[in-house]
Amino acid sequence: MKQFIKKLFASLDNHSLGYSGRKLTALFCVLYGAYLSKDLEGENRLHACYSFLSVALLCLGIVTVQNIIDFKNGKGNNIQKS
């Protein structure tokens, strides 16, 4: 636990001794989204979860902005068979 806290505070500096900023942002988006969603009801809970999880996925690089633009324009991962 001591090492976790040490690395957490080391990530605030501009060197490689701490955790990655994108991964920390994704972690706290998921945790804060879960905390915020517990007080909401119905569809509002679902929309809050979607928004926080999409930010987390963007931060981790699993979903890129180009993927979102392609999905919006109707371009999928259509593989043409020869």
State the Rg of the chain over Cα.
Answer: 17
For the chain, the structural domain boundaries read 20-72
pLDDT in tens, 34-60: 888 888 888 888 888 888 888 888 888
Query: Does the pTM exceed 0.85?
Result: no
CA distance 72 to 54: 15
Residue 81 has pLDDT above 60, yes or no: no
Alpha helices per DSSP H over 1-82: 2-10, 21-37, 43-60, 65-72
- Ramachandran angles phi, psi of 17, nearest 5°: -80, -20
Residue 47 one-letter amino acid:
H
